[in-house]
Structures are given as structure tokens and as C-alpha cells.
Amino acid sequence: MPDTMTDSILIHNCTLLTAPNAPLLANASLQTKGDTIVAIGTTETMPQADTSQATTIIDGQGKLLMPGLINAHNHCAMTLFRGMADDLELATWLSKYIFPAEARHVNEEMVYHCSKLAAAEMIFSGTTTVADGYFFEGQAAQAFVDTGLRAIAAHGLIDFPAPGVPNPARNLETASEFLDEWQDKHPRITPAIFAHSPYTCSSETLQQAKRVATERQVPFFIHVAESSQEQAMIQAARGTSPIRHLNALGLLDPGTICIHCVWLDEEDLTLLAKTRAGVVVCPQSHLKLASGTAPVSAMIEHGIQVGLGTDGCASNNSLDMFREMDLLSKTQKLHTLNATSISARQALTCATINNAKLLGLGNIGQLRPGYKADLILLDMQQPHLTPCYNQDLLVYGANGADVHTVIIDGRMVMADKKIQTFDIETTMLEVRRLARQLAGSLH
């Protein structure tokens, strides 16, 4: 489909939420030019909104305009494995199902089509930026370019034969080649490095991967402290916790993003705060795999920057960030037995401003003049969104199906719940074909 980026979009007559803690603004207008927000106000304060210069004019009557959501952890191509292996604990899920399926079925074609499917699901549900980590990540990055998403695309490393890297000794070489190809290749794509975990990567691999990420000034992601089994494994092998193991290797700093962090003690929390490493939690995945509940309230009390992601939909099984925000708040209330723990607005902050900061994308996550035009419109004319007193309803009442329009980088990616950038029907046909091949190999 043709690139539908417009010179200027004017959205008027809407309810506007510029940031999680800002008041809702009625009868509001927002104007973009190119990829940037240029003006925000009310009908009264923006009477000069230049309709003659607007290529696209959207009447926002009955709709709420807000920042696009950011999914800070995903394995997009794993849409192929959605529903393949449910109701299993993490170690069994990985060793008996996911790793064998990846060895047989993950290739360039699979990663491209299945990442496009994930992109569609995220666009439909209001996500405008994703941090992805997987194999053949160049194909995932191309899928994000073709669908219109903004993305951090992280090349995956693991210390055993993996799709695309049958010889683990070439891990770092392959990662460097990926960075060579994608650094500065496309304005919406930021390449990065993703080391799977401290139990699948040697200390040497972790240190070398972090060194490359630091030298190339790209983010470094790692799964860590996800389960009690991992905690016991690292304690037995290293005599310390997973977080303290990473710190001893020199991995913890503001450029490192630690995924999951369910099993943390006070010393771990202090280290994460001191080193200013980021944390991303995935509540629904933690629940489904019975990993536990990440101590997010304690993290925030320690001053740790906490973001939010869905994880891959093989362990979720949804990529809807509205559901994830709702679960983040409610699981923390249950975990602490404190109804004030992680408010709706804190959850929304995690999915927008915090995620933007963690990913090094400081010009998204809020609607402000000069920021990138990544924004979504929700259809509020629905029973479950009536009445709407404030933005808390977006966390506790809304869901991805309420998203009506998605604009990314000033480009109309979804209008009237129809994706504008690619043919989703063709993508679903391709993934169903791949799924038939996968299903045949399971018997």
C-alpha cells in the first residue's frame, strides 16, 4: 500500500490527554506537521488552526486523543506459537516446547510474516512503539518498517545453536553485522542487542555483548530474575542472585534494560537503583507462567525506572497494552494488599513516559509541541466507557478494541479501525500456512 504520511493532520473537537497526570482537556485540537506535533489547544485557544494547510482533518467528536502506547518487551515473531503450549511452568515451556519449535520453524520468512501479524495486533490495540528481541531480527525490523510501527529491534544472543546462528561462536559477529545494517538505516528503527538470560549465556558472552552495545551506543536487553528456578540455578552456579551476578560482570548501567525482575531481594533493589539500570515487567506473562509478581511498588520506592511490556504472545497470549496496564495495577494491589499501590495513572505512566525514557526515545510518550506525532484516538461512545470522569477509566475500563485511529510519526497507520499500511488479510493467510506446518510437526 502507498505511504500515507501527510504534510499536516488536524484533529479537533476531541477530548485530549497529553500525559498520564495531566487533566483531560475538552473541545481540544491538535495539529501535526510532518512527523511532529506543532500545536495543541482548545477550540477557543486554537482558533487559528490552519485547516487550509491540513491534508487530513479528523472530527474527534466522541473520541479521546492520547499518546500512543509503548510495548517495552516483546518477541513479535512468536505470534506463530500463540496457543501452542499453554498451562506450563517456564522451564518446561521453554525446554520441551518453545526451543524445539524454534529450532524447526524459525527462519527469515517466519520472522517477517509473524512480526507483521504482531504489528497488526499492536496497531489495532493502540501500540505505536515496540521493543522487540528475537532471531533474524533484520526481518522483524523490515516488518516494522513495512507496517509503520516505531521499534527498538534487538538481535538475540544465546549460547547454543540458534536459528540463523548455528554456531554460537558467531553470536557477536552476527550481532555486529545486524547493527551495521540497521544503525541509521531507518528513522523509526533503533537496533539493539538482546542477551537471552544469565542461564543461557555464559559470563563471557554477556560481557562481550554488553561491550558491543556500549561501543555502538545501543540498548542492551536481558531476561533476568524471572523465576524461582532461575534464582536457584544462578545461586548454585554463581553463589549469588541473578541481579548481583550481572552487576559483578559490569552489566548494570543506564544502558541495560532488565526484563521481568520478579525475584528480587532488598540488595537487588538497591543495586538496580544505584546503577540506574532499567526494568521492564510483563504482568500477564508472569501470571500465566506462575513466575510470581514483580515487586513494582518496591522498585518505584527505590527510585528504579520501571516500564511495561507484554512479552511474546506465546506466554501472554495477548499484545494488548490496555490489558497489561490494568493487570499491572491490580496485581500490585493484590501483591501488597494495598489498594493505593500502583495507581491507574502510574500504570499509564509506565506504558508511555517511562517506557520512552527506558528505550532512549525521549520525544515520544507524551503529546507536546515538538514531540513525535505518535498518537491514538479511542472511541468513547460505548457503554463500558460511559461516563468518563478522568483517565483512570482508560486503565480500568478501556481495551485495545476501543482504538479507532492510530498515527505514527505523522503517518495515518489506522483509520476507522482499518489498517492503512499493509494488507492484514494476506499476512494472516501466510501465518495460517506456517501454523499448519507447525501443527503437522507436533504429531
Q: What is the pLDDT of residue 89?
A: 87
Q: How far is the C-alpha of 231 from the C-alpha of 363, rounded, in Å?
A: 36
| Contact (Cβ atoms closer than 8 angstroms) between residue 262 and residue 285 | no
* Domains present along the chain, CATH in parentheses: 8-67+364-419 (2.30.40.10), 69-358 (3.20.20.140)
Higher pLDDT, 42 or 305: 305
Residue 54 has pLDDT above 90, yes or no: no
Per-residue three-class SS string for 125-160: CCEEEEEEEECCHHHHHHHHHHHCCEEEEEEEECCC
| Strands 411-415 vs 403-408: parallel, antiparallel or unpaired | antiparallel
Pick from 110, 48, 30: nearest CA to 437: 110
Residue range 253-269: mean pLDDT, rounded: 99
pLDDT attached to residue 47: 57
State residue 141's pLDDT score: 99
Gyration radius (Cα) of the chain, Å? 21
Is the pTM of the predicted complex or chain greater than 0.95?
A: yes
Query: Could you tell me the pLDDT band of residue 2, with boundaries at 50, 70 and 90?
Result: very low
Q: Nearest CA to 286 among 242, 226, 334?
A: 226
Distance in angstroms (rounded) separating the CA atoms of residues 415 and 392: 25
Spatial separation of the C-alpha atoms in residues 120 and 95, rounded to whole Å: 29
Kind of pairing between the strands at 63-67 and 375-379: antiparallel
Range of weakest confidence among 92-96, 309-313, 332-336, 425-429: 92-96
pLDDT more than 90, % of the chain: 93
pLDDT, mean of residues 155-169: 94
Question: Is 149 or 44 the better-scoring residue by pLDDT?
Answer: 149
Over residues 96-106, the mean pLDDT reads: 93
Q: How far apart are CA 298 and CA 304, in angstroms?
A: 9
pLDDT score, position 111: 98
Averaged pLDDT, 199-218: 98
Residue 112, pLDDT > 90, answer yes
Q: Which of 33-47, 137-151, 177-191, 230-244 has the lowest mean pLDDT?
A: 33-47
Looking only at the bridges linking them, the beta strands covering 278-281 and 256-260 are parallel
User: What whole-number distance in Å separates Cα of residue 97 and Cα of residue 78?
Assistant: 12
**Residue 342 CB partners (closer than 8 Å, separation 6+):** 296, 297, 300, 328, 329, 332, 333
Tell me how far CA of residue 151 lies from CA of 25, 79, 182, 376, 401, in angstroms.
29, 17, 12, 17, 22
Q: How far apart, in whole angstroms, are the C-alpha atoms of residue 190 and residue 134?
A: 14
How is residue 154 written as a grid cell?
534487538
Q: Which residues contact 240 (CB under 8 A, 6 or more apart)?
A: 234, 248
State the cell numbers at 146: 513495512
Question: What is the pLDDT at residue 6?
Answer: 55
pLDDT at 1 exceeding the cut of 70: no
Which tens digits make up the pLDDT trace of 424-440?
999 999 999 999 999 98
Residue type, 339: A
Peptide bond into 317 cis (omega under 30): yes
Q: Which cell goes with 117?
A: 501479524
How many other CB atoms sit within 10 Å of the CB of residue 83?
9
